[in-house]
Amino acid sequence: MIPVSRPYLPDRSRLNKYIDRIYSSCCLTNNGELLKELTLRLEEYLGVTNLLLVGNGTLALQVAYRALGLGRDGERASEAITTPFSFIATSSSLKWEGVQPVFADIDSETWCLDPGQVERNINERTVGLVPVHVFGNGCDIEALDRIAKHHGLKVIYDGAHAFGVKFKGRSILQHGDATTLSFHATKLFHTIEGGAIIFRHRDSLDKAKLMINFGLSEDSSIVSLGINCKMNEFQAAMGLCVLDDIGTIIASRMEICSQYQRSLEGWVGFQRHNPSCTKNYAYFPVLFDNEAELIKVKKALEERGFFPRRYFYPSLESVSHIAAFDTIQEKSRRVSEQVLCLPVFPGLSMAEVELVCELIKKCVSRTS
């Protein structure tokens, strides 16, 4: 079976060296030395400051919302504008924190939140924007930041797919009041489970540090409301070991994605990439002419042992326990019904990539 993504497992002997340090220190969690080292190395690699490691990517979103003051204002429920074309955690984490997701439609070519649609959905209850860098493709950051500044809104970017991406030569993770990352096992960079928040301001980072450790200060005084969101030392060990190999991981993914691009040009549609952004090759999504064609391709691939995935389906405004309104977001609905992510991970052979492409070509008509 060849899945859409396979967790990268680093060399066992190198991982053991990191784990030996855990055994030597007898420190398994609570801001241990490996976690501190991983924080510093990630800040250096990503070109950011104010990075906070947490237990997973969904917690990263929840902590970011709390730290930046999104939430219920007295008896009035607050709202945040976000995209319906994303993984469910983007919106369910808002709802969990008492913030109603309000969906604005996407750009039909970049598949990211459309700033024009955002503007028309802002009202007196709106407290923030939660755009997503979909498949690592940077949003229209400058337009979204202008809108937020004009209306006095917080911006939390869901950067789960945007590890290592640069916007105009600088880390895309520096934008907004915060950007979150997911370090789930299937991600480009992972810590088995895990996540991070990059804050614009140091005071937001300091507030979040208290929040993820039960609201306890360094002297164990209880100074604020908090929960437990800490990353442990074994997660950090895996992260350090994967980070050692990150250049090789990205190079392998780039080779696979480039081969897909060359072979499938003219047969399927592609996401229009933000020209101001670099690529990290985290995913390779393709767009079919209609849902029936997608289903035909998916079935043909699965019969040969390839398991692509419908990221992201369905469009989230159709999920009744998340959406407050039943307004159809037409572009998101259409894209969600036509997009399929193909297998991309180190170890996938070029022969397997070519077989995927040949199976797709047998199922579709040329688009040009």
CA distance 363 to 147: 43
- Report the C-alpha dihedral over residues 156, 242, 227, 89, rounded to 10 degrees: 50
Pairing of strands 51-54, 195-199: antiparallel
- Are 145 and 290 in a shared domain? no
- Are 72 and 111 in a shared domain? yes
Residue 255 lies in a domain: yes
Residue 349 lies in a domain: yes
- The total of other beta-carbon atoms located within 10 Å of residue 292's CB is 11
pLDDT at residue number 120? 94
CA distance 61 to 96: 11
CB 341 within 8 A of CB 285: yes
Last residue of a domain, one of 244, 263, 292: 244
- Report the C-alpha dihedral over residues 344, 230, 126, 155, rounded to 10 degrees: -60
> H/E/C letters for each residue in 317-328?
HHCCCCCCCCCC
Domain total in the chain: 2
- Are 270 and 209 in a shared domain? no
- Tens of pLDDT along 132-146? 999 999 999 999 999
- In the chain, % of residues over pLDDT 70: 98
- Are 351 and 250 in a shared domain? yes
* pLDDT over 80 at 75, yes or no: no
- Tens of pLDDT along 277-297? 999 999 999 999 999 999 999
- Tens of pLDDT along 17-54? 999 999 999 999 999 999 999 999 999 999 999 999 99
- Are 216 and 329 in a shared domain? no
The enclosing H or E element of 153 equals none
- The neighbouring-strand residues paired with 102 are 81
Q: Structural domain of residue 358, as residue ranges?
A: 246-363
CA distance 58 to 29: 20
* pLDDT over 80 at 1, yes or no: yes
- Tens of pLDDT along 76-126? 679 999 999 999 999 999 999 999 999 999 999 999 999 999 999 999 999
Q: What is the pTM of this model?
A: 0.96
pLDDT at residue number 368? 47
